[in-house]
Amino acid sequence: MHMADALISPAVGGVMWAATAGIAAYSIKKIQSDLDDKKIPLMGVMGAFIFAAQMINFSIPGTGSSGHLGGGLILAILLGPYAGFLTMASVLLVQALFFADGGLLAFGCNVFNLGFFPCFIAYPFIYKIILNKGYTSGRILFGAMLAAILGLQMGAFGVVLETVSSGISELPFRSFVMLMQPIHLAIGVVEGLVTAAVVTFVWQARPEILQKTAMGQALGNLSIRKVITGLAIVALLTGGALSWTASTYPDGLEWSMARTAGVEELELPQGLHQVMAAFQEKTAFLPDYSFRSAESEEETEPAAAEAPWPAVSAGTSVSGLVGGSLTLMLAAATGIIISVFKRKEKLATINKA
């Protein structure tokens, strides 16, 4: 069950789409530089395999329930992180188009939660490191379990963050986290066990498959990974810790504005600027770089002179209700009229022939 469009805001959807597109573009570049054409059919068939494998019910002994495979980790192990990420993206796209399992706007979120975390974090930083010393069934089990559990925890946390920052669902952060994380812990355990079982089987039956991908990663990619890791850590530190020390004084631009025009921000001219500013205000999910908190909204309400949204008055409600019903009736009527016309057309063509 992937994230639906109805639960995210356009801003969150857009940001995650951009992030996913960026990672996908980077992955494509990485694959193309060391691609032999054989990888394309392999990625395609592996995508189909994961799609089919997701339908398998793995019955858990003693509980009477069953678990399912996500597949991100297996794909990373068999194809490498870049190809694995792209394959996961194509599987999710087919699911979104054919089964509406995951929205098209939420596609970026879903690929990020189910592709980025297993392929670019769980696989290289957990699984690979544990398996660095060589394959044994114990290490495979431990590596797969830890990577699957942590990868799924991160994915679930991603879902929570995306939903809460969209503001459509009223679930508060803490309750949602306490709902999602334990469920995905159980799912992660099943995924880890199944992944370990499959990898162990492949390692015993055809070890060359695993060795090939392992070797491919060891050549030439390590330095770039270190660089990216380093940058990511620096970014987190700067954003997280150092932002506490951010100055409350006006920045350079605001300071110069205050000096010259007497105000820190210009009043927007009428027309397009106002419209765009209103759009931005509505869609910004981190206004002024903080979470949109209920308290700040309450503070601004007494200051606002306009009526609270929506206007609570019987008159507006009646016309709204009338208008709403009329709209629905019009829509249904349009649909019926079109199908009547089409039927007449079909009968006419049949009669002609």
Partner 1 sequence: MSNISNTLYNMHALDEHADTKTMLHSIHPVSKLLVTMVFLLVVVSFHKYDLSGLLPLVFYPLVVSSLGDVPFRLLFKPMLLTAPLLVGIGIFNPILDQSIAVVFCSVSISGGWLSFLSILLKGGLTILAALLLLATTGMDRIAFALRMLYVPRLFVLQLLLTYRYIYVLLEEFGRIWNGYLLRAPGQQGVGWQVWGSLTGNMLLRSMDRAQRVYEAMRLRGFEGEYHPGGTRPLTLADIGYMAGWVLFFTTARYYNLPALLGQLVTGGIS
Q: Which of the ranges 124-132, 145-153, 197-205, 226-234 carries the binding residues for partner 1, by CB under 8 A?
A: 197-205
Q: Tell the smallest beta-carbon distance from residue 58 to partner 1 (Å).
A: 5
In the complex with partner 1, the residue whose CB is nearer, 62 or 269, is 62
- Tokens representing residue 163 in the block: 């939903």
Q: Does 252 bind partner 1 (CB under 8 A)?
A: no
Name, in order, each residue with C-beta under 8 angstroms of 148's C-beta and a sequence gap of 6 or more.
73, 118, 122, 188, 189, 191, 192, 195
Q: Does 332 bind partner 1 (CB under 8 A)?
A: yes
- Tokens representing residue 289 in the block: 């770089």
DSSP structure class, residue 63: T
Q: Does 294 bind partner 1 (CB under 8 A)?
A: no
Q: Does 280 bind partner 1 (CB under 8 A)?
A: no
Q: How far apart (Å, rounded) are the C-alpha atoms in residues 291 and 167?
A: 10
Q: Hey, how many other C-beta atoms are within 10 angstroms of the C-beta on 7? A: 17
SS3 139: helix
Q: Does 99 bind partner 1 (CB under 8 A)?
A: yes
Q: Which amino acid is at 352?
A: K
Q: Which amino acid is at 77?
A: I
Q: How many residues line the site for partner 1 (CB under 8 A)? A: 102
Binding-site member from 18, 22, 35, 183 for partner 1 (CB under 8 A): 35
Q: How far apart (Å, rounded) are the C-alpha atoms in residues 154 and 130?
A: 19
Q: Alpha helices of the chain — where are they, by DSSP H?
A: 10-33, 39-53, 72-79, 81-99, 107-111, 128-130, 137-166, 173-205, 207-218, 222-240, 252-261, 272-283, 294-303, 314-352
In the complex with partner 1, the residue whose CB is nearer, 136 or 339, is 339
Q: Which amino acid is at 56?
A: I
Residues of span 208-227 touching partner 1 by CB under 8 A: 209
Q: Does 207 bind partner 1 (CB under 8 A)?
A: no
HSE at residue 57, side-chain half, CA atoms within 13 A, is 5
Q: Does 97 bind partner 1 (CB under 8 A)?
A: yes
Q: How far apart (Å, rounded) are the C-alpha atoms in residues 116 and 162?
A: 15
In the complex with partner 1, the residue whose CB is nearer, 241 or 298, is 298
Binding-site member from 19, 28, 161, 186 for partner 1 (CB under 8 A): 28
Q: Tell the smallest beta-carbon distance from residue 90 to partner 1 (Å).
A: 4
Q: Does 242 bind partner 1 (CB under 8 A)?
A: no
Q: Tell the smallest beta-carbon distance from residue 290 to partner 1 (Å).
A: 20
Q: Does 271 bind partner 1 (CB under 8 A)?
A: no
Q: Which of the ranges 115-123, 128-136, 196-204, 234-242 carries the binding residues for partner 1, by CB under 8 A?
A: 196-204
In the complex with partner 1, the residue whose CB is nearer, 93 or 257, is 93
Q: Does 136 bind partner 1 (CB under 8 A)?
A: no
- Token look-up 């879902």 returns 159
Q: Which of the ranges 53-61, 144-152, 215-223, 236-244 carries the binding residues for partner 1, by CB under 8 A?
A: 53-61
Binding-site member from 18, 174, 201, 250 for partner 1 (CB under 8 A): 201
| Residue among 84, 111, 118, 85 nearest 96 (CA) | 111
Q: Does 42 bind partner 1 (CB under 8 A)?
A: yes
